[in-house]
Structure 1
Amino acid sequence: MTHRSQLLSEWQFKSTSRPESTWHPARVPSTVHTELLATGQITDPFIDLNELDARWVADESWTYRTFFPTPSSASSSSFSSSHRPDTHKNSDKEEEEEGEIDLIFEGLDTFATVRLNGKTILTSENMFLSHRVSVKHLLKRDDSNKGENELEIIFEPAAQKGLELVKSHPEHLFIVHQTDVSRATVRKAQYHWGWDWGPILVTCGPWRPVRLEVYTVRVEYVRVEYDVSLSKREPAMVTGRVVAEVVGWERCRVGAEVVFDGVVVGAWDMGVYHDGGGEKRGELVTEGFSLRDVKLWWPRGYGPQNLYQVRVRCFAPAEKDDRLLAEQVQTIGFRKAELVQDGDVHGKSFFFRINGVDIFCGGSCWVPADSFLSRISPAQYRSWVDLVASGNQTMLRIWGGGIYEDDALYTACDERGILVWQDFMFACASYPTYLSFLSSVTTEARQNLRRLGSHPSVVLWCGNNEDYQLVERYNLHYDFADKDPASWLKSDFPARYIYEHLLPSLVTEELGPSATYHPSSPWGTGTSTTLKVDPTVGDIHQWNTWHGSLERYQSLPQLGGRFVSEFGMQSLPHLQTLHRFVTDPSELVPGSATIDFHNKAVTHQRRLATYMAENFRIPASLEGYVHVSQVMQADALAWAYKSWRREWRDGDRKCGGVLVWQLNDCWPTVSWSVVDYFRLKKPAWYAMRRALGAVAVAVTRDVWDWTSRPADELWKRDTGHVDLRQIVERVKFDVWVASSGLCATKGRVVVRVVSVRTGEDVVDRMEREVEIAPNGTTDVLVEYELEDKELLRKTGYVVVYAALWVDGEKVSSDVSWPDPIKYLDFLDRGVRVEPVGDMVLKIACDKPVKGFVFAEREGVEVSDNGFDVIPGEDVHVKITGAKPEELDWTFIGS
């Protein structure tokens, strides 16, 4: 094949701002911070307060350089593996067949000037763009016809350049939430300016690979446009066309084939590409196709993730030698994806339907997995997606303040059946619309639509994150009835043009009319003429817990919407993570300066302490504080997931999905994440997994919120003059089963009411045979109340335990506690942790146990964590990576 590619990975870097700076070795892909760290010029910004000591890096210009030999002819089998090889003379024939030589920059962060042998070949101002530059005419040739070339990339300070752009566009009203205003003009990962979960580390560098490519012909891109015909009686049929752009100097034949499991299931001749009389140019070639008996791609839990390969190949004409000149292979999964937004009794639905099946999308929001993007490996991406899948999650939302993620993440989602909600990269700002900005955004969107559009996992493209909330907060102009995009550009919210005209047009143009676009997250407009977030339509971000009105998390079931795309609760990470970023032992206490510094959420001290103190007794030790914060976070998420999933019923899809903010962290921190930076799972991750099981039983009891009850009808005052005995005496609860299965299932539900004080059953256990409805919710007990108040007064606080048995196996259980937990006495629980087999622990107790948690650490896996234990309902946990006796564990009150 005459199409060859070589990575340029061995580089040097230095500060351009300081004349005395010297060259240091670097590896590309790169960010300057990681190179400075590797060469000992900065301390690790993730440790202690070192982030502050690294701020200066963003104020300087930096230069990267490398040297590479001029490649041999296009007909040669490979590049030389040596960095500075001995030269050799090419034949005249090789000279003629050399074809084209391009430099490809897959990502430059951000204001970059590229020079080859002293000549500027590229300037870039957008981190999200890739660039291809023809360089054959600039490469050196010595007497051996093969010279050495110098490639330089100079990066200027992004924040400084952003401020210059702000000043040069006084016509625009720049409003930016989360740190500095300069980020609104810069097409760069916005979280680099700092967020309420991440540090201020404004990076630069060639953050994605730099390659040298030699070819006579290449396939620029391949797009498969298709439609799936579904029938209950027949296998799926797919019709569509393959679209390819071929570029090069050489005339060739173009063919396409579709391969499944190593077998060619369809092949087509796409015609002849002509070289245009010696002028390199691109030409679109298309060919229609029809496939029968197609094996569809399904989300995890609903069917297999069948993947096909579409190959487009360019061959030399048969009258020559029929050589393979170039090819591009694209993996695709055929599926029919719909966002269902129909009017119903609740307003307007918002849920996803895949291959004709309604899918409840329980999952997470994703932020970049590191502040320094170049050090996230494909294996790490796969590990993160494995955590999503093993947590019974169905959807991952790629948040708009980060990046269009690496191909490895989407490939892993394809293979594990994780649906992807993809934001465009705009977040929490009023963005400008001057011409050069719009041009850059257009190229950015087009490139990433082409790169990511074939992934079957990507089912939604969303315009931005929370930008319309600025319209509400600052009373910017927005006339819902005005449908003239040109007029939007003249308003004080011109970014509407991007979200409601430019981006949807590009999505349709690049991916076809079947692609789904959503203007913003959240986005409730559609049935009204205002921008107010409406829980009856679209998606919502529910931040009246933690932010906003600081509602109790027990109120989350009443605070839902048609699709909850953000909500969350903070907790501290596991102790091992704290020890990795706090080096001073005196700082390893709750509320220390170092731990507070690693929590970037505004007023987090008040909010975290408020939720903890409202619900739990707060321990003085760091170990206890970590544990209580994690159990509280798990409780909050359990309330939300199981209650909102209950609203997913056949014929009544009141809530179509729930995505927690957030799955992960970009550095070791205190945040809303359910898995920390080092991929240690918090108890909340396990709570989500239990609530999102294929079949899951749930129990919740009425919460008597005495702190907000009026004392009398005359004054309507909120006071504490209430009868707290009602927390003991009022035991009213619901039990239900949620299922994502597509067939009805028979099961048995067991309900027990157990005394917290004695561990004994207060009433006879209840058993119900249930027919579990498919893909929906089955109520077992509704507003079931214990009537014997005298018995309850004598017994004291009780827990309600529910278990689901299917085919003689307990497949799910849940426990509902009286709130607040801090009123309960947890002495003398009689907890026993005993080995019962090969790396299996049995956890048993004499009295109900709340929040049993193993302290997790790297290299150790536990099959369950953060669970409650009820007398007679032993919990078995599989351990890998450590001996059972090496594990630390605790529970509330221990």
Structure 2
Amino acid sequence: MTTFSVQRLRTGWEFKRTNDTKPDAWLPVAKVPSVVHIDLIAHDKIPDPSHDTNELDVQWVGEERWSYRCTFRSPRGDNDRTSLVFEGLDTFATVRLNGTVILESDNMFLEHRVDVTAAIKRPDGEPLQDTNTLQIDFDSAPARGRALMEAHPEHRFVGTLGGNERMAVRKAQYHWGWDWGPTLLTAGPWRPVRLETFQSRIDDVSIRYSLDESLKCCQGTVSARIDGGAGSHVRITLCSPQERLVFENRSEVGPGGLAVARFELSDPCLWNPHGYGDQHQYLVQVELLDHGISAHVVTKKIGFRKAEVINEADDFGKSLYFRINGVDVFAGGSCWIPGDMFPPRVSADDYREWLTLMVRGNQIMTRVWGGGYYEDASFYDICDELGILVWQDFMFACGSYPAYPTFLESVELEARENVRRLNHHASIVIYAGGNENHYIQEHFDLSYDWADKDPQSWLKTSFPSRYIYQYLLPKVVEEEAPSVSYRPDSPWNDGLPIISFDRTTGDLHQWNVWHIAMRLYQDYHQIGGRFNSEFGIQSFPHLSTINQFVTDISERHPQSATLDFHNRCRDHEQRLATYIRNNFKATDSNLKNWVYLSHLLQSEAMHYAYRGWRRDWGSKNARRCGGALVWQLNDLWPATSWAIVDSSRLRKAAFYGLKRDLEPVAAGVVRTHHDWTKAGAHPPAASAFDAWIACDGSLAAARLLEAGRGALDLELRFISIRTGLDALPPRRHRLAGVRPNGTTVVCEAAPLANPPTRDAYVILAKVLLGEAVVARDVDWPQPFKHFSFAESRGLRVRLAESRARIEITAARPTKGLLFTERRGLSFSDNGFDVMPGEEYVVEVEGLRKDEELEWAYLGMDECPEGLTNGLTKGLSKGLTGLTNGLTNGLNGLIKRLTNGLTNGHA
């Protein structure tokens, strides 16, 4: 008997333009998975689309047809079966084996399995021929999409981004271009291709379980679906995280090819979000036994946890937050877009680097956005391992999608297959039907009768995709992953007629800052919803990233054509300049300064959002805000965007701001902000401030509160920006009790004198355990442009001899101290404020022996030490250059003299 074996068809591939008949048209492919742009770049047929404006020069690629081919040898075996498995074909693909069509595909998100036994072997098991040719022809996705639009005039294909034909194509929607990425319409075998040989195999393993209210008893089933295993047996085992066998079952495969084992565990080791306990995972192994011989083995890891989405009526409307293993969790984190323009370039190591950044930044949830693709298994494996909660969108974004029968069939296959593939991942706690699709219904005034509950009638309206989000997808989730919650869309307002911007219920995409009304970012805390699943503000990538993709030095300035080209947001010039100039002095066109100000802008805005919304976490049964997911964590090409980490994986100031705001115990202080720039308004004579402590439900927060029982203080200082001295006497509040996993308000609407601009002061709030600083927050008067930083800040930056520790002090309040980042250099904190009388310590990794620290802070060009530092660095570099030049010149002269003497010449 032959056991299950796999041959991965990675190498030996070629590709060409399908219609190119020249003998030398076929070019080698380095490896599969791939897409055509990767291979064209490798052969210098197109420039790198991420550089300059090269994207414009490669648009023809998406309109062409492309072919890939390889050869493989036929496996031998009397009774063996052989299947070709295509894990993903992008997108309209016709597959031929030895010239015969064996598969036609039109959905990028589907896996295909084709039995090719008869095509490559005789009945006696001998090969029909030694070498088989596999060829895949890919049609143009936009061309086919336009044809589908014409074939279905009964549907409206409308959306806010990309070509409207994208809605007819089951392909990653961002390939049509988005407001943070390029238009690059790919084609190719984007996921692995493999050859499987077997007599019988395990087709699928499904694990379902439930935990009782006490979390002490776990009951479940392991189901194995067998292909060709009639009369065989299945051995199912379950091993604990400590590698101890806790369950074993052996049963015969039933007539339908199904084997089911029921298990029960007492006191199971639970999977928890990071910070809330261990991420325990059990190993499930299913072994197919044919006449006692192991024919095929499948293993999966499963983490047992109880994940609930709490939707309850309360004083604010209706809640939306997550409860994991009985503990309410404030879901602070970020949204995830695809990791690269070309998916095959994203490796498991890449996923690990990105997701590890999340954990280091105290982020606990990511939302896989619905305009990309269902991520590789390694993404979810790493989320399981690290304890990151996943909000998973289905792949529908910003569009009105059709609902003709073949389209619905494809969508159901896609949804069912991917939910089955992912249903064992403990990290996935919610599915959503897509991204902003009901907003499209509102925006284009498509028909929607809330009272109509008949799914079949929805198919006859101008918004037929309601059938997908509110009937088809929830049905699939209920059948395939019944323990995971489902929402029809994001945003989605629970139980109300669709109002995309309702702040009292459901999740909210709050784009009234930056987009729409362009509200002040200082208003974030006033306009939050029950769960803020999208919001953000733009910033440039790091200067070093800009220097990589802008190859023309003359284009390295704000408002250059190249930099504008790498910002796809509508009216971005107006929006970014407005927000910068509303808040900061920006009087020159120096790119380095604009990059810094944009980073500070983004960080400040996110601080107002996360600080205020975390305060709204409130208390049990009064969770005004259940979470905040910034748009977005990552970039997939070098761009000015909402990402808090740029495409070079360099962290921006906002990344560190989130990290501080999401500490287990965080201080918060904010004064009432008065926008007195409006016509007829004046600066107020007096104001007020609030101060509070926010705690999450993590073990670290619980330990700190236990250690500080009766000994925690909140100290407030009011420090002059101009002098660095206390403008008002400090206040110290002994905290009789701090609410665990909630907010403790210490001061509310406390009166505050509002002195003239020249004597303005910051408010420093510190949580103290004894004299140890547990948490800090600083509130500055707004906007920063009204205050002078001309007096020396007295900043002192000391690098320890080990080059692994930086100690910082300042004589006057210093805003946004930001050390320059590069790949391989890591700071424990960055972009923070430095207050007089405080010492700040930053741990640093990867600083080279000969490398100088570089930094910037707000107003650095105004104050004396800023100018001195600039002159010192300039002189240092100049002297170094002069010294190197003289040394090189002398060495050259000596070399020439030596050579001359050796050759007999003076």
Q: Same fold (TM over 0.5)?
A: yes
Distance, in Å, in 2 between the alignment partners of 1:163 and 1:314 is 47
For 1:374-523, what aligned pairs fall within 5 Å after superposition? 374-512=344-482, 514-523=483-492
Q: Give the C-alpha shift of residue 216 in structure 1.
A: 1.4
Name 2:17's counterpart in structure 1.
15
Name 1:188's counterpart in structure 2.
171
For 1:675-690, what aligned pairs fall within 5 Å after superposition? 675-690=645-660
C-alpha distance after superposition, 1:288-308 (max 9, x if no partner): 111111011111111110011
Matched, 1:779 2:745: yes
Aligned partner of 2:732 among 751, 767, 786: 767
Matched, 1:813 2:776: yes
Q: Give the C-alpha shift of residue 270 in structure 1.
A: 4.7
Name 2:269's counterpart in structure 1.
295
Give the letter for the 1:316 counterpart.
Answer: D
Distance, in Å, in 2 between the alignment partners of 1:127 and 1:529 is 33
Distance, in Å, in 2 between the alignment partners of 1:670 and 1:186 is 28
Distance, in Å, in 1 between the alignment partners of 2:212 and 2:388 is 22
Name 2:61's counterpart in structure 1.
57
Name 2:311's counterpart in structure 1.
341
Give the letter for the 1:28 counterpart.
Answer: V
Query: What 5-or-longer segments of structure 2 have no aligned partner?
Result: 861-906
Name 2:888's counterpart in structure 1.
none
Query: What 5-or-longer segments of structure 1 have no aligned partner?
Result: 74-94, 277-281, 709-718
For 1:198-347, what aligned pairs fall within 5 Å after superposition? 198-231=181-214, 236-248=216-228, 251-261=231-241, 263-273=243-253, 283-317=257-291, 322-347=292-317
C-alpha distance after superposition, 1:528-585 (max 9, x if no partner): 3444532111111000111111100001111011101000000001111101110111
Give the letter for the 2:507 counterpart.
Answer: D
Distance, in Å, in 1 between the alignment partners of 2:476 and 2:365 is 24
Q: What is the SS of the residue equivalent to 1:648?
A: coil
Distance, in Å, in 1 between the alignment partners of 2:381 and 2:472 is 27
Distance, in Å, in 1 between the alignment partners of 2:805 and 2:500 is 52
Q: What is the SS of the residue equivalent to 1:191?
A: helix
Aligned partner of 2:686 among 715, 724, 730: 730
Q: What is the SS of the residue equivalent to 1:704?
A: coil
Give the letter for the 1:3 counterpart.
Answer: F
Q: What is the SS of the residue equivalent to 1:555?
A: helix
Distance, in Å, in 1 between the alignment partners of 2:671 and 2:19 is 64
Distance, in Å, in 2 between the alignment partners of 1:567 and 1:467 is 17
Distance, in Å, in 1 between the alignment partners of 2:525 and 2:163 is 36
Give the letter for the 1:842 counterpart.
Answer: E
For 1:482-881, what aligned pairs fall within 5 Å after superposition? 482-512=452-482, 514-526=483-495, 528-618=496-586, 619-651=588-620, 652-708=622-678, 719=679, 721-724=680-683, 726=684, 729-741=685-697, 743=702, 744-745=705-706, 746=708, 747-770=712-735, 771-787=737-753, 792-793=755-756, 796-806=759-769, 808-827=771-790, 828-838=792-802, 839-881=804-846
For 1:18-57, what aligned pairs fall within 5 Å after superposition? 18-20=20-22, 22-26=25-29, 27-57=31-61
Q: Give the C-alpha shift of residue 837 in structure 1.
A: 4.7
Conservation of the 8 A alpha-carbon contact between 2:229 and 2:257:
no
Distance, in Å, in 1 between the alignment partners of 2:115 and 2:162 is 39
Conservation of the 8 A alpha-carbon contact between 1:525 and 1:531:
no
Q: Give the C-alpha shift of residue 244 in structure 1.
A: 1.4
Distance, in Å, in 2 between the alignment partners of 1:199 and 1:366 is 17
Q: Give the C-alpha shift of residue 140 in structure 1.
A: 5.7
Conservation of the 8 A alpha-carbon contact between 1:466 and 1:520:
yes
Q: Give the C-alpha shift of residue 886 in structure 1.
A: 1.9
C-alpha distance after superposition, 1:109-152 (max 9, x if no partner): 00001111111110000000000111111116799876111110
Conservation of the 8 A alpha-carbon contact between 1:297 and 1:335:
yes
Conservation of the 8 A alpha-carbon contact between 1:543 and 1:567:
yes
Q: Give the C-alpha shift of residue 786 in structure 1.
A: 2.9
Give the letter for the 1:802 counterpart.
Answer: A
Conservation of the 8 A alpha-carbon contact between 1:571 and 1:671:
yes
Moved more, 144-153 or 597-606: 144-153
Q: What is the SS of the residue equivalent to 1:263?
A: coil
Q: Give the C-alpha shift of residue 483 in structure 1.
A: 0.5
C-alpha distance after superposition, 1:387-438 (max 9, x if no partner): 1111101110000000001111111110111100000000000000001100
Q: Give the C-alpha shift of residue 19 in structure 1.
A: 2.8
Give the letter for the 2:460 counterpart.
Answer: K
Give the letter for the 2:224 counterpart.
Answer: A
C-alpha distance after superposition, 1:179-235 (max 9, x if no partner): 20110000000000000000000101100000111111211111111110132xxx6
| Cα distance change on mapping 1:143 and 1:312 into 2, 3 Å | closer
Moved more, 547-556 or 12-21: 12-21
Aligned partner of 1:122 among 100, 103, 119: 103
Distance, in Å, in 2 between the alignment partners of 1:596 and 1:454 is 44
Conservation of the 8 A alpha-carbon contact between 1:538 and 1:563:
yes
RMSD: 1.7
Conservation of the 8 A alpha-carbon contact between 1:348 and 1:538:
yes
Moved more, 742-751 or 121-130: 742-751
Query: How many residues were matched structurally?
Result: 839
Distance, in Å, in 1 between the alignment partners of 2:127 and 2:330 is 65
Give the letter for the 1:203 counterpart.
Answer: T
Conservation of the 8 A alpha-carbon contact between 2:338 and 2:372:
yes
C-alpha distance after superposition, 1:434-456 (max 9, x if no partner): 01100000000000000111100
Name 1:711's counterpart in structure 2.
none
Give the letter for the 1:830 counterpart.
Answer: G
Moved more, 673-682 or 794-803: 794-803
Distance, in Å, in 1 between the alignment partners of 2:826 and 2:770 is 28
Matched, 1:179 2:180: no
Q: Give the C-alpha shift of residue 811 in structure 1.
A: 2.5
Distance, in Å, in 2 between the alignment partners of 1:223 and 1:106 is 19
Distance, in Å, in 2 between the alignment partners of 1:17 and 1:371 is 26
Q: TM-score by structure 1 length?
A: 0.92
Distance, in Å, in 2 between the alignment partners of 1:784 and 1:867 is 26
Name 2:863's counterpart in structure 1.
none
Conservation of the 8 A alpha-carbon contact between 1:367 and 1:662:
yes
Q: What is the SS of the residue equivalent to 1:437?
A: helix
Conservation of the 8 A alpha-carbon contact between 2:228 and 2:257:
no
Name 1:70's counterpart in structure 2.
74
Identity fraction in percent: 46
Conservation of the 8 A alpha-carbon contact between 2:327 and 2:697:
no
Moved more, 296-305 or 883-892: 883-892
